[in-house]
Amino acid sequence: MKTLTPAQQKAYQNLNIDTSHRVILSLDGGGVRGILTLQLLKKIEEIAGIPCYQFCDMVAGTSTGAIIAGLIAFGKTAAEIEQLYIQFVTKVFIRKSLLANRFINPPAYDKKNYREALKSVLGDITLEQTNRKTGVDMMITAKDVTDNEETFFNCFEVNGEIKNVFKDALLRTVMEATMSAPTYFSPLERFIDGGTTTYNNPSLAALLEAICYSGKGKYQADKITMFSLGTGTKVLSVTPDQAASPTGPDAYFWLNYVMDESGQDASSMQTDVFRSPLLQLNYRRFQISLNCEAMQLLPDNDISGIHAVNANRISGLTKEDLNGISMDDVSKFDLLKAIGQAMTDYIMKENKFTKDLNNTPTHRDELVTAFYGVKKIQPLISQAGWVNGLPS
């Protein structure tokens, strides 16, 4: 059983965590949208009274979430990571050349500056050395295209021993592998972004690794509190006419659609499983839709200082302001930070991070909107004449 220090006991009390539980922090991928996640983490640390690395037993992350997770495991506070994150973003998203383009002449960006920035912060510390430094177990996701399988860069200390295959891997190398998103960046040899797998939200993989594999015996399924933080999700609505005749090349349209939706669907499925009776852990998910409907639910904070949009308050954000905030859209960096701050204010009013942020009747995320179009399509799909009259 985990022995808590007085500071950890206070953190557990403030966050309403059972003292017999181990804490897993899981962070989604999402490019520059990671700045939204950091607003939540700063508030969690403020409530706890100590940094995440001092009360979390394990961190897991994909892509931008893995960058944050790795820095937590290294011993950085959320506020320190935010400052480093801002530096990384300004150095990462620099065009590889004037002709660089994701689809015509990929990759769009050069990782040289990012690699150098990571080395300046982390040096050549290994996963094992990182674990020995802070005591935080970790899991970082990537995709091995040569062996065609997900790769989990794990490092767990169990009874004083660390036996993981990648324990001697450099932390900065792993943190580069997980963010090497195709068309945006070159692969790290055989490894590409973990967000290309079903684990852009790494929660389920983290739980399985903790209780069944690397952390077996240390973590128990019914004695875990998991904080799962999203980076904001896009709710894409394609009309039947748009689906039949997309704007621009069909391949370009559907490639982007499938890449976005497959990751989001996998994340939603994991969340549904966690909220079902199948699992007994204390699960706390915090996610938001990046659309006007969700903005209306947030505190109407002042955003007049943000030059990328015309709105003066959160409620004034338009569809054009919010649509298509891609992982490399640095122009929306300050807006994403403001949305994260407003989301934090909402959570503080609702539950102060002490429980799951879900709509109890539907078991869906409270700040993730849906269209609920079943009633409209249900009578049509039952009619033979309707389907017979559709284009084939």
Q: Structural domain boundaries of the chain?
A: 6-388
Query: Do 264 and 234 touch, CB atoms closer than 8 A?
Result: yes
The pLDDT value recorded for residue 98 is: 67
SS3 call for 133: helix
Residue 104 has pLDDT above 80, yes or no: no
User: For 224-259, what is each residue's pLDDT tens digit?
Assistant: 999 999 999 987 778 888 888 887 777 777 777 776
Q: Which residues contact 280 (CB under 8 A, 6 or more apart)?
A: 221, 222
- Helix H or strand E segment including 358: strand 358-359
**pTM as predicted:** 0.94
Closest CA to 304 of 295, 315, 296: 315
Alpha helix positions (H), 15-77: 34-48, 52-55, 64-74
Which residues are identified as catalytic?
Answer: 63, 193
pLDDT range class, residue 91, cuts 50, 70, 90: confident
Rounded to 10 deg, the angle between the 64-74 and 78-92 helix axes is 140
- Helix H or strand E segment including 226: strand 224-229
Rounded to 10 deg, the angle between the 34-48 and 78-92 helix axes is 170
* Spatial distance between the Cα atoms of 357 and 334, rounded to a whole number of angstroms: 24
Residue 363 has pLDDT above 80, yes or no: no
Got the DSSP string for 237-284? ---HHHHHS-SS-HHHHHHHHHHHHHHHHHHHHHHHHHHSTT--SEEE
Span 97-102, mean pLDDT?
Answer: 68
User: For 10-34, what is each residue's pLDDT tens digit?
Assistant: 999 999 999 999 999 999 999 999 9
324 vs 232, which has greater pLDDT?
232
The pLDDT value recorded for residue 252 is: 73
Got the DSSP string for 12-31? HHHTT--TT-EEEEEE---G
The most confident of 99-108, 133-142, 254-263, 315-324, by mean pLDDT: 133-142
Within its chain, how far is the Cα of 225 from the centroid?
17
Span 254-277, mean pLDDT?
Answer: 82
Closest CA to 270 of 203, 208, 211: 203
- Residue 285, CA atoms < 13 Å, CB-side half-sphere: 28
Question: Considering the chain, what percentage of its residues have pLDDT values greater than 90?
Answer: 72
Q: What angle do CA 291, 294, 295 make, to 5 degrees?
A: 85
Question: Considering the chain, what percentage of its residues have pLDDT values greater than 70?
Answer: 97
- Helix H or strand E segment including 203: helix 203-212
The most confident of 100-114, 198-212, 240-254, 324-338, by mean pLDDT: 198-212
* Spatial distance between the Cα atoms of 92 and 331, rounded to a whole number of angstroms: 14
Residue 96 has pLDDT above 90, yes or no: no
* Spatial distance between the Cα atoms of 278 and 199, rounded to a whole number of angstroms: 19
Task: Please tell me the CATH superfamily of domain 6-388, with its number.
Answer: Cytosolic phospholipase A2 catalytic domain (3.40.1090.10)
pLDDT-wise least confident of 254-263, 279-288, 343-352: 254-263
Query: Do 70 and 138 touch, CB atoms closer than 8 A?
Result: yes
The pLDDT value recorded for residue 77 is: 99
